[in-house]
Structure 1
């Protein structure tokens, strides 16, 4: 089901979610917010309905200039209230990770657990934050501001070396829908990705130390997009976090552990 709630483009796996336990999926950068087939399959296996919302400037959600990570979470409060869900597992992939954590800070009574996959950590303000990123150009530009990030977008091209062999295998197999959806998001323009990068490199608008929910940080040690050091920084900042490292995985293939992470 696709509908508009509180001005946002909302996808749900069921028409009526009142009283249901849900998996709130926070998509990567860029994505359209559509529910991906493997996410739906894992949620079904765990008796969870799925809610996925396009962040501002993606798909049918209007742009919110200057948005912070916390702003996105605040915007989801009326969505979940309107749907009447009972409880939420907040799950974020890559660029969705910070937003999954922000929801736990914004809605501590509703979010019972958080799972992130290859999430960036808050910007440290120094070069160490970029270490071992294969293609950090967009984030480097975002540090300089929106104008610089937009100039970068004019010549930005995907660097295939960001992904390792198991990432490409995942995109050709179980997670093929992720690649298709990312291409659809890219075709709609760069605004969502630009605003995500700007949000990641400015203060997030909430304190990680205030996240009371349990958090599982799933990270591939071969990740060249968001290196493992980011997961370790998050682990150090969160009071109830478990670090789940996978030596064989990269940025996309690590998503194959979604089912196991939900069982933790």
Structure 2
């Protein structure tokens, strides 16, 4: 990380309801925050490509581990899984702790609906939104959410729609596979990860991107699958807001070769988010889209004015 940036490691703050919220803040002191909403499963861990790209533009990156991930307390059982909209209160709590008023936001995969929530519900503070490889809301007319998904993604989505018990059982099986892979030597882990990906996404699985994927998996599962479970369930239930109410500049990024969250989701968002600009890119997948973070941040800053 360059000399003009700061990395204070992971910290925590207490939400008004008493839950602990883990967060990570890096970048030049005083820089405008970019709130990054991670995918699933993931947590607040170093993400070199994003943090360097942001610092080069004078921006700070703020990542908050959603409930049940890392050391962020899970939601009480009677409140779980919560809604996508719940992320706004936790985001405001951390921003207030940092003394930050305005912010930009970027969400990837399961984090993208959370970025959209900030645009819809925090228009006085959120200056621009970027949704990368994000889901459309559940059960919208004219969209088959699993059409074009790879086998594993479709199985996870179907288990989520079946219910909490089915999803927990499926995720526990996935965790066992991940743990078995993690016991392999370093080079073998990388090759195992690459073998699970389509060719378009294999190219990004190098260097600190591999480190991010592995660190995310390890930290996100410290409390078991509770965070992952609630993340999946919330995305496939009413979000707590309508995307049509978003009134801040919004950018929709999606790869046409994405088989984790198929491009039909991005196409739907492009039509229904008012005034949005869409980048539906040929020859890009679910992970390879993150290789374009320089361009994404330039466009986000421009959108924010």
TM-score w.r.t. the length of structure 1 is: 0.92
| Matches of 2:261 and 2:197, distance apart in 1 | 11
CA 1:187–1:203 in structure 2 vs 1: closer, same or farther (change >3 Å)?
Answer: closer
- Residue by residue over 1:162-203, the C-alpha shift from the partner in whole angstroms, topping out at 9 and shown as x without a partner, is 632231220224522332223314642222111111001100
Q: How does 1:55-134 map to 2 (within 5 A)?
A: 55-64=66-75, 65-124=80-139, 128-134=144-150
Specify which of 130, 133, 139 is matched with residue 157 of structure 2: 139
Contact kept in structure 2, 1:74 and 1:106, CA below 8 Å: no
In the alignment, which residue of structure 2 is the partner of 1:154?
Answer: 172
Contact kept in structure 2, 1:220 and 1:245, CA below 8 Å: yes
Contact kept in structure 2, 1:133 and 1:224, CA below 8 Å: yes
Deviates more, 1:113-122 or 1:174-183: 174-183
- Residue by residue over 1:130-154, the C-alpha shift from the partner in whole angstroms, topping out at 9 and shown as x without a partner, is 1011121121111122112112223
| Matches of 1:133 and 1:121, distance apart in 2 | 14
| Matches of 2:116 and 2:281, distance apart in 1 | 21
| Secondary structure, aligned partner of 1:175 | helix
- Structure 1 stretches lacking a partner, 5+ long: none
| Matches of 1:234 and 1:181, distance apart in 2 | 30
| Secondary structure, aligned partner of 2:139 | coil
Max Rg structure: 2
| Matches of 1:178 and 1:218, distance apart in 2 | 21
In the alignment, which residue of structure 2 is the partner of 1:32?
Answer: 43
Length, aligned pairs only: 262
CA 1:231–1:96 in structure 2 vs 1: closer, same or farther (change >3 Å)?
Answer: same
| Secondary structure, aligned partner of 1:138 | helix
RMSD over aligned Cα, in angstroms? 2.1
Specify which of 45, 54, 60 is matched with residue 43 of structure 1: 54
| Secondary structure, aligned partner of 1:171 | coil
| Secondary structure, aligned partner of 2:55 | helix
Residues 1:4 and 2:12 aligned together: yes
Deviates more, 1:174-183 or 1:209-218: 174-183
- Structure 2 stretches lacking a partner, 5+ long: 1-7, 179-192, 300-305
Q: CA deviation at 1:246?
A: 1.7
| Matches of 2:196 and 2:277, distance apart in 1 | 26
Deviates more, 1:56-65 or 1:122-131: 122-131
| Secondary structure, aligned partner of 1:59 | coil
TM-score w.r.t. the length of structure 2 is: 0.80
| Secondary structure, aligned partner of 1:123 | coil
Residues 1:181 and 2:196 aligned together: no
| Secondary structure, aligned partner of 2:39 | coil
CA 1:26–1:195 in structure 2 vs 1: closer, same or farther (change >3 Å)?
Answer: same
Residues 1:171 and 2:205 aligned together: yes
